[in-house]
Amino acid sequence: MAVLVYTETLNGNFKKNAFEAVSYAYDLAEKTGQPLVAIAFNAESCDALFDYGVNKVLHVKDENLKMFNARVFAQVIADIATKQSAHTLILSATTDAKYMGGILAAKLKAGFVPNVMARPLSIEPLVVKRMTFSNKGFAHTRINTDFRIIGVSNNSFGLVENKVDGSIEELSTDVGDSDFNTRSVNVERVTGKVTIADADIVVSGGRGLKGPENWGLVEELADVLGAATACSKPVSDMGWRPHSEHVGQTGKPVACNLYVAIGISGAIQHLAGINASKVKVVINTDPEAPFFKAADYGIVGDAFEVVPKLTEKLKEFKAQNA
Amino acid sequence: MKILVCISNVPDTTSKINFTDGDTKFDSNGVQFVINPNDEFGLTRAMWFKEKQGAVVHVATVGEIQVEPTMRKALAIGADEAIRVNAQPTDGFFVASQLAEVVKQGGYDLVIAGRESIDYNGGMVPGIMSELLDMSFVNTCIGLEIEGQNATASREIDGGKETIETTLPLIIGGQKGLVEETDLRIPNMRGIMMARQKKLTVVEPTDVSPATEDIKFEKPAPKGDVKLVDAGNIDELVSLLHQEAKVI
Ligand SMILES: Cc1cc2nc3c(=O)[nH]c(=O)nc-3n(C[C@H](O)[C@H](O)[C@H](O)COP(=O)(O)OP(=O)(O)OC[C@H]3O[C@@H](n4cnc5c(N)ncnc54)[C@H](O)[C@@H]3O)c2cc1C
Ligand SMILES: Nc1ncnc2c1ncn2[C@@H]1O[C@H](COP(=O)(O)O)[C@@H](O)[C@H]1O
């Protein structure tokens, strides 16, 4: 028996989320005395996985798996899990992993717990801590089934290096045309920009910025920080920014290391979606804005004055610490 | 086309969340319940299919009698019939199994669920259903067009958008984008009156054990006070972020 972890790639390279899932899986494998086995599709090189404690990589190279397809990917993963007689599968919290989670749970007759934020509270029975009620609460969830699937929340466990000498086994699949009941016909992906899902730092703007023409402020700050840009719901509803940037309870969830909120009041629905972030900074003219109650650091001031200065200071800081 | 919209009955987004019975249960005292926001986007898209393409729209909820006001609201918005599976929604697998049974009985061509409920946050009910029913499935769905048996859906991906072609029967996990915020409808008087006459069928659950169980809840630790930095002293913020918070 082994602990399995699915390691997601984009264009052949492992995502950061994959290493976090592996770090979590390694911890569990250690505790239960099982080997750690990673499943990877079409990776250029699997070596990086050994830095995080993977004993063996089951690598599948297959043209049919070049493009993500939830049902087909889940079928291949479930087949491998069954052949390995594994009982535990660790996933990350990417959009694609969440897409597969339910499908895999049904295929493997597994209890699936997503949004897990810490190492298990108990191993036998397996009890994990997960975020629920849109981050306004945490649940201790017991998994009752033989096969268990855990989805690790972004930036919750962190990356933990554990170098080992591992091996790679190449596998083949028999995926065929008839296995696809959905077909991807077009993918538009922004390139050269950090996405909210992958970002360590997110710089977010609200209605306090007055209009889309002022977003240069947000983008320049994001640039120096290597951050993704985001916005509050009304900002995307008014079309100042694309919907894909809307964060919060009804938008994208954000769980980054540093969240900078500019001209955002801090409504409960906004906070619910970003509260899992570790450090929050708020810049707002109104000292009574609710965001000040949720933030770690704050500046009461006008964004149009404060943000360009902050950008300048950070540039200087970067230059000194380069 | 026959559409089923799966509606989760959730605490209003402004609700304070508390637990009771030694932190083993959600405390619904004083909490207002609403249609899960992602499901409201789905229901509104279903109304479009009803009005433009003559679809019949049913809604289903797994829940006890207290969920009926939320179901009546869905009927007042324009759904034709409602089905309530009379059981407490214990976990994603249990709920998906119950809803899958409703789909089998009703012979639906399109099942619209939400990407995620804002209370359980499982994000798994539509995925599990798709597998139990062997139906095509598109998650994080932000656009859906249907012609005959063919569907074109767009879905949000990390850093972009993907267009998918598929066929009915189909399940989606929907979210904002399916319709816009401004398309959402508040039930009018006529709708509310008509909803009272519409059929709300109660069915008993099938015998399935939940795969997971929440044995205890906790609330996030109270937050310490914010550290305020003077607008004229931004260097201080930079050094706090570097030395204290260690995030830059
Ligand atoms: C069902 C539901 C779901 C929702 N989901 C979400 C969600 O997912 N995400 C979300 O964000 N919202 C959501 N909302 C909306 C939420 O309630 C708030 O309306 C929204 O977050 C407010 O956005 P804002 O902070 O940008 O705007 P406002 O509330 O208008 O705040 C603007 C802030 O900018 C400050 N300001 C003004 N000028 C300046 C300046 N020059 N410099 C600095 N600060 C300035 C003001 O003091 C104010 O605090 C939801 C609401 C509902 C009902
Ligand atoms: N009790 C329920 N009754 C009906 N539909 C539900 C219920 N719970 C969840 N769903 C549907 O499944 C979606 C995802 O829920 P979840 O898996 O709980 O995040 C929701 O948006 C609803 O469409």
The three state secondary structure string of A139-197 is EEEEECCCCEEEEECCCCCCCCCCCCCCEEEEECCCCCHHHCCEEEEEEEECCCCCCCC
Residue type, position A7, single letter: T
B42 touching chain A per CB within 8 A:
no
The tens digit of pLDDT for each residue in B141-170 reads 999 999 999 999 999 999 899 999 999 999
The β-bridge partners of B155 are: B141, B162
Output the six-digit token pair for B188: 């009018």
pLDDT at A230: 98
| The residue to which tokens 């001031």 are assigned | A301
B231 touching chain A per CB within 8 A:
yes
Output the six-digit token pair for B155: 């879905």
Q: Is B139 exposed, middle or buried (0-12, 13-18, 19+ CB in 10 A)?
A: buried
The tens digit of pLDDT for each residue in A150-205 reads 999 999 999 999 999 999 999 999 999 999 999 999 999 988 888 998 899 999 99
Residue window 54-93, chain A: list those with CB within 8 Å of chain B.
68, 70-71
Q: Rounded CA gap, B128 and B150, in Å?
A: 22
Angle at the Cα of B61 (from B163 to B167), degrees rounded to 5? 25
Say whether A138 and B217 touch across the interface (CB within 8 A). Answer: yes
Say whether B123 and A101 touch across the interface (CB within 8 A). Answer: yes
A175 touching chain B per CB within 8 A:
no
Other beta carbons less than 10 A from residue A190's beta carbon: 12
The tens digit of pLDDT for each residue in A178-193 reads 999 999 999 999 888 8
Indicate the pairing of strand B19-20 with strand B25-26. Answer: antiparallel
Say whether B142 and A243 touch across the interface (CB within 8 A). Answer: yes
Q: Rounded CA gap, A289 and A298, in Å?
A: 11
Interface test with A, best of B25, B121, B155, B172 (most A CBs within 10 A): B121
A268 touching chain B per CB within 8 A:
yes
Q: Which among A259, A268, A281, A284 is the best mutation to test ligand 1's pocket, defined by most ligand atoms within 8 Å of the CB?
A: A284
Q: Which atom of ligand 1 is nearest to the CA of A210?
A: 38
The answer to whether the CB of B187 is under 6 A from ligand 2 is no
All structural domains of chain A: 3-179 (3.40.50.620), 201-320 (3.40.50.1220)
Q: Please tell me which residue of chain A has the smallest CA distance to B219.
A: A137
Helix or strand run (H / E) with residue B9: strand B9-11
A310 touching chain B per CB within 8 A:
yes
Chain A residues whose CB is inside 8 A of the B226 CB are: 282, 292-293, 295-298
Q: Rounded CA gap, B185 and B74, in Å?
A: 10
Inter-chain Cβ pairs, chain A and chain B, closer than 8 A: 266
pLDDT at A322: 79
pLDDT at B248: 94
Say whether A105 and B167 touch across the interface (CB within 8 A). Answer: no
A283-288, long-range: CB < 8 A, 24+ apart: A283/A307, A283/A310, A284/A208, A285/A208
Q: Which residue's CA is the nearest one to ligand 2's atom 13?
A: B114
| Residue B15, min C-alpha distance to chain A (Å) | 9
Q: Which residue's CA is the nearest one to ligand 2's atom 12?
A: B125
Q: Which among B65, B68, B94, B125 is the best mutation to test ligand 2's pocket, defined by most ligand atoms within 8 Å of the CB?
A: B125
Q: Where are the alpha helices (DSSP H) in B54-91?
A: 68-77
End-to-end Cα, chain B, rounded Å: 54
Chain B residues whose CB is inside 8 A of the A249 CB are: 13, 37, 118
pLDDT at A254: 95
Indicate the pairing of strand B9-11 with strand B33-35. Answer: antiparallel
Interface test with A, best of B38, B131, B145, B182 (most A CBs within 10 A): B131
- Residue A55 contacts residue A37 (beta carbons within 8 Å): yes
The answer to whether the CB of B127 is under 6 A from ligand 2 is no
Helix or strand run (H / E) with residue A6: strand A3-6
pLDDT at A193: 86
Residue A43, helix vs strand vs coil: coil
- Residues of chain A predicted below pLDDT 50: none
Q: Rounded CA gap, B63 and B68, in Å?
A: 9
The β-bridge partners of B212 are: A143
For the stretch A81-120, what's the b/e string if a residue is b when 16 or more beta carbons lie within 10 angstroms of its beta carbon?
A: beebebbbbbbbbbbbbbbbbbbbbbbbebbbbbbbbeeb
pLDDT at B223: 87
pLDDT at B213: 98
| DSSP 8-state class, residue B244 | I
Chain B residues whose CB is inside 8 A of the A135 CB are: 220
- Residue A28 contacts residue A119 (beta carbons within 8 Å): yes
Ligand 1 centroid–CA B35 distance in Å is 22
The structure's pTM equals 0.96
Q: Which among B10, B12, B13 is the best mutation to test ligand 1's pocket, defined by most ligand atoms within 8 Å of the CB?
A: B13
Per cent of chain A over pLDDT 70 is: 100
Ligand 2 centroid–CA B172 distance in Å is 12
Residue window 270-289, chain A: list those with CB within 8 Å of chain B.
272, 275, 278-279, 281-282
Q: How far is CA A176 from CA A106, A145, A180, A185, in A?
A: 21, 31, 8, 18
Mean pLDDT of B1-21: 97
